Amino acid sequence: NFDGTPLSTGKLPSTEAKMHIAIYKSRPKVQSVIHTHSTFATMLSIVRKSIPIIMEEMYIFLGGSVNVSEFGEAHTIEIGEVALNALSIKNAALLANHGVIVCGKSLDHAIKFAELVEKLAKMYWGALQIGEPKIISKEHLERFQKLFDSLFSNYPRSMRQKS
C-alpha cells in the first residue's frame, strides 16, 4: 500500500517502494511507475547527461526532454523526492547514477515510455559520438503536436496534457 506495508504475507515491498509511493501520491493521474537500469539510459544517468528533445515523439509521449535528477540515496525517501523533481510534469527522468524512472496512465503506457527512453538514450549516445545533436525547435514541436492530435486521437499521450 502507500505506506509501504505489504498487502500479502511472505513478500517484501520493492527496495525502491518509497520512490514509487512518492510518485503515486504526488501525481494522481499516474497508474503505473516503472524503474529500470536499461543500459544506454543508465550510462547517461552516470554522466548526468539529460536527453534533449531530439525526436518529436519525446514531446508527444514523454512531455519533453528527459531530465537527470540530483543524486538520491537508494532505498530512501530522498530518491523519491529527487525523482519527483526531475519528473516534474513529464513521464520520464534519469536518476543520477541509478537508471530510469517512467510513469504512465496505465502499465502499457509506462512500458512504452520505458522502451522509448532507452531507444532515445541509445540514439542520443550514438549521435554524440559523431557530432553535436541538433535540438528540435519549440515552434516545430507545437505544430507537430497539433498535427498529431488531429491524426491520432486515441494514442497514449503525455500526462502534461488534459485528460
Annotated active-site positions, please? 16
CA separation for the pair 159, 127 (Å, rounded): 28
Based on C-alpha coordinates, what's the Rg of the chain?
16
Angle of helix 77-87 relative to helix 17-26, nearest 10 degrees?
40
For residue 69 the three cell numbers come to 535528477
Task: Please tell me the distance from the alpha carbon of residue 69 to that of residue 14, in angstroms, as a whole number.
Answer: 20
CB distance 106 to 25 below 8 Å: no
DSSP string for residues in 24-57: HHH-TT--EEEEE--HHHHHHHHTT--B---SHH
